[in-house]
Amino acid sequence: MMVDLSAFSDEKFDAKKWINAACEARHPEEAAEKHLVDLEMKLQMVSEEIAASLEEQSIAALLRVPRATRDVVRLRDDTLSLRSSVAAILLKLKKAEGSSAESIATLAKVDTVKRRMEAAYETLQDAAGLTQLSSTVEDVFASGDLPRAAETLANMRHCLSAVGEVAEFANIRKQLEVLEDRLDTMVQPRLTDALSSRKVDVARDLRGILIRIGRFKSLEQHYTKVHLKPIKQLWEDFDAQQRASKLGSEKNELERISTSHDFRSSLPTVSFSSWLPSFYDELLLYLEQEWKWCMVAFPDDYKSLVPKFLIETMTTVGASFVSRINLASGGIVPETKALAKGVLDIISGDMPKGIKVQTKHLEALIELHNMTGTFVRNIQHLFSESDLQVLLDTLKAVYFPYECFKQKYGQIERLILSAEIAGVDLRGAVTRGVGAQGVELSETVQRMEESIPQVIVFLEASVERCISFTGGSEADELILALDDVMLQYISTLQETLKSLRVVFGVDVAGDALGSRKETGLDKKEASHNSHKADLISNEEEWSIVQGALQILTVADCLTSRSSVFEASLRATLARLSTSLSLSIFGSSLDENHSHVTSDDGSGEVSLAGRAALDVAAVRLLDVPEKARKLFNLLEQSKDPRFHALPLASQRVGAFADTVNELVYDVLISKVRQRLSDVSRLPIWSSIEELTAHPIPSFSAYPQSYVTNVGEYLLTLPQQLEPLAEGTSNSDTNNDEAQLFATEWMFKVTQLIL
């Protein structure tokens, strides 16, 4: 049986557990006493072996101690000796360091002198070479070898930069400038021929010559000059067609007069809006061809060369483009077409009275702008490899002809909306004869109620026009225009209410709380009004009351529709905020390094990506201050408490209060009329008669005015019921309808009580 000694080294060794485990491990047939005796014997033998081994190891260790002591003493002596040697070496190094620093400083001075001598030698060589080049440059030019001449001029430029500002070479510097201009002039006709004839190799070589003498700008200008001519001719074709059409019309008119036949012009007038797409198509085709050719001829420059050519093209035709857009916008309306005027002329006030900006004018601008937008998307796709800043400059140049119209967009929209609202039929009520007042009131109220959805449609259309034309960049100006126009419309409604008060015959003087008294009517006039009221039949009287109650529907419709429109406007502003913020106002540069920093350095306007190059983003990037103000407004629109039309919202509430006041005055007018003569009744001045028997001092029958007032109050709920039902769109609103009728009954009876 083997004895496992590893268990005895465990700190948690338990003798009882170990013995029990050893007993459990014995053979079943072996007696426990015999097993324990054998185990005890083995443990005793093992312990004796351990003791003997320990004694042997102890004796050996004692024998090694003196030897180890001698080794430690020897190692300490060696350490002291090494320390002394290191100290001596450090002392020698310090002495060597001082002498080495002096040597290094001396070497540095020698090296400086050497380099200066080499620079002087090279400068002398350049000066000698410059003199030689200056003397032989005319021979090079005379040979007609342009590449060699360019190389010579480049070497002269290098030599001049090496020599520096030396008075002796000032004449050579002037000579060099003259020679560079001369070489540039010699290259131009060959470059013109190469560009016109599509000679790739020649154009590439000539481009290398210009680059060698630092005249890449000359290459850009000459490339633009060569290719601008056919595009300018293409642009002027429109004027030629117009002149031809005009001459054809005049010729046919003369023939018609001479032959007395009604001829029509064989050359109909071509409109700018129908001609512009074809111009854009031909221009785009030309640019695509140039892009492909320049990729081969100028592989390092085509990404900027062709876009800059387009920028120069749009700059050249810019003034004419604006004029044509202006005339095209006016040509859509016969009045302005006859005067050959457009939107800008109308805004400036240089037009006869009665001619105003119409929706058709702005729609014509939007149509032209959409054509340009299609062209811009094609350009963006074509120039997708160009640097983003170059692409931005190109798109700004293409959109530039519309900028003056966009800057005046708020004024244009305000004039359009004002004219549209002025065209809405809001005639005030006029006094008619007895029996026709109810019809007049009904028609007037109907006109007011029908005008509300019309005006809201006008406002919604203006929002769509703003998005279509400016991409939302003029949303702040649009809001101001909408607010002003709403104030104009509500003021018109207020004037209509004033005319209704006259027709209703209510007293306009007094307070607005219902405690009104006669202030401007004398007894004779009050008696006349009472007599006039007696002439009105009950049917017409109740039609007047019903007409007054219908005005509440007008106020309710205006309040609800204006609230819905304002909520829709806030949602539109929120969408603009989301869409524009994806492309504008970044805190860091994008991967393409396209950015526009504000003037005050307080912020940075950046473009998030090429996909965001829409009309609003392109425009706002050029005016960071306007962009910042616009985004402040768009950010405020996210607040539920924000009023997009603050002044109009207040005026809508004031209009509702005025309507309630008018309805209140109408409902109690009959009561006032019946009670106005009570103080003058004969009963108050009668003398009490003496009778043999006491009789009551009052009549057993009510006075006529009491009867009339009572009948009026009893029938008033019947008049309120249709209006209450009209405000209730479902069974769930019956309680609100009942509350509405009760509220107005209380207002009327409050005066009597």
Segment 50-58 mean pLDDT? 87
Task: Go through the chain and tell me how many residues it has.
Answer: 753
User: Looking at the structure, do residues 624 and 710 belong to the same domain, yes or no?
Assistant: no
Domain encompassing residue 313: 215-255+266-407
Residue 401 falls within a domain, yes or no? yes
Weakest mean pLDDT among 43-52, 425-434, 636-645: 425-434
pLDDT of residue 335: 85
> Which pLDDT score is estimated for 316?
92
Residue 743 has pLDDT above 80, yes or no: no
Hey, how many other C-beta atoms are within 10 angstroms of the C-beta on 260?
7
Average of per-residue pLDDT across 311-324:
92
pLDDT, residue 728, reads: 47
Residue 277, in any domain of the structure = yes
Please give the pLDDT value at position 371: 94
The phi, psi pair for 26, rounded to 5°, reads -70, 165
pLDDT at 529: 46
Cβ neighbours, 10 Å, residue 17:
11
Query: For the residues 591-606, what does the mean pLDDT come to?
Result: 41
Structural domain contains residue 391: yes
Is 718 or 442 the better-scoring residue by pLDDT? 442
pLDDT band with cut points at 50, 70 and 90 for residue 725: low
Does 197 map to a domain? Answer: no
Residue 213 CB neighbour total at 10 angstroms: 23
Q: Record the tokens describing residue 303, joined without a space.
A: 């990404």
Give pairs for 294-298: CB < 8 Å, separation 24+. 296/200, 297/200, 297/203, 297/204, 297/207, 298/203, 298/204, 298/207
Strand segments, DSSP code E, in 408-505 are none
Note the pLDDT of residue 726: 54
Neighbours of 285 (CB within 10 A): 10
Shared-domain flag, residues 391 and 351: yes
pLDDT at 440: 75
Note the pTM of the prediction, 2 decimals. Answer: 0.69
Domain count, the chain: 3
Domain membership flag for residue 311: yes
Please name every residue paired with 606 in a beta bridge, in sequence order, or none if there are none: 595
| Interstrand relation of 595-597 and 604-606 (parallel, antiparallel or unpaired) | antiparallel
Instruction: Please compute the mean of the pLDDT values over residues 685-703 and round it to a whole number.
Output: 63
Mean confidence (pLDDT) of the chain: 76
Q: Are residues 572 and 718 in the same domain?
A: no
- Same domain, yes or no: 622 and 713: no
Among 57-71, 176-190, 359-373, 612-626, the range with the most confident prediction by mean pLDDT is 359-373
* CB of 494 closer than 8 Å to CB of 554: no
What average pLDDT does this structure show over 199-206?
86
241-270, pLDDT tens digit by residue? 777 766 655 555 555 555 544 434 444 567
In degrees and rounded to multiples of 5, residue 464 shows phi and psi of -65, -40
535 pLDDT more than 50: no
Q: With pLDDT > 90 as the criterion, what percentage of the chain qualifies?
A: 19
Instruction: Kindly indicate the confidence band of residue 289, based on its pLDDT and cuts at 50, 70 and 90.
Output: very high
Looking at the fold, whether 517 and 646 belong to one and the same domain comes out as: yes
Statement: residue 589 has pLDDT above 60:
no
pLDDT tier, 370 (very low <50, low <70, confident <90, very high otherwise): very high
Lowest mean pLDDT among 10-14, 558-562, 622-626: 10-14
Picking from 170-179, 434-443, 579-588, 675-684, which range would have the lowest pLDDT averaged per residue?
A: 579-588
Same domain, 349 and 486: no
Q: Quote the pLDDT of residue 605.
A: 44
- Alpha carbons within 13 angstroms on the beta-carbon side of residue 489 total 31
**pLDDT above 50 for 593:** no
Same structural domain, 604 and 712: no
Contact call for residues 287 and 310 (beta carbons, < 8 A): yes
Amino acid 156: pLDDT: 67
* 288 and 229 within one domain: yes
Q: Which of 255-264, 540-549, 744-753 is predicted most confidently?
A: 540-549
Structure tokens at 737: 């309808």
Q: What is the mean pLDDT of residues 586-591?
A: 36
Residue finishing a domain among 386, 407, 428 = 407
Q: Are residues 481 and 523 in the same domain?
A: yes
Q: Which residues pair with 597 in a beta bridge?
A: 604
- Selection from 203, 227, 204, 207 nearest residue 216 by Cα: 207
Whether 90 is in a domain gets the answer no
Rounded CA gap, 659 and 490, in Å?
12
Name which of 134, 136, 139, 141 is nearest 172 in CA terms: 134
Which of 393-407, 411-425, 429-443 bottoms out in mean pLDDT, i.e. has the lowest?
Answer: 429-443
- At 67, the pLDDT band (50, 70, 90 cuts) reads confident
Measured distance CA(498)–CA(425) in Å, rounded: 16
Q: 188 CB contacts (<8 Å, ≥6 apart)?
A: 218, 222
Q: Is 613 among the domain residues?
A: yes
Task: Please give the average per-residue pLDDT across 126-151, as a whole number.
Answer: 64
Both tokens of 320, joined, read: 């004419």
Query: 37 or 87: which carries more pLDDT confidence?
Result: 87
Integer Cα distance of 669 and 518 in angstroms: 11
Q: Tell me which of 2 and 215 has the higher pLDDT.
A: 215
Question: What is the predicted pLDDT for the residue at 49?
Answer: 85
Residues 717 and 576 in one domain: no
Per DSSP, the chain holds a count of helices (H) and strands (E) of 24, 2
389 within domain boundaries: yes
At 62, which amino acid appears?
L
Are 649 and 711 contained in the same domain? no
Q: Which of the pair, 736 or 492, is modelled with greater confidence? A: 492
Asked if 270 and 351 sit in the same domain, the reply is yes
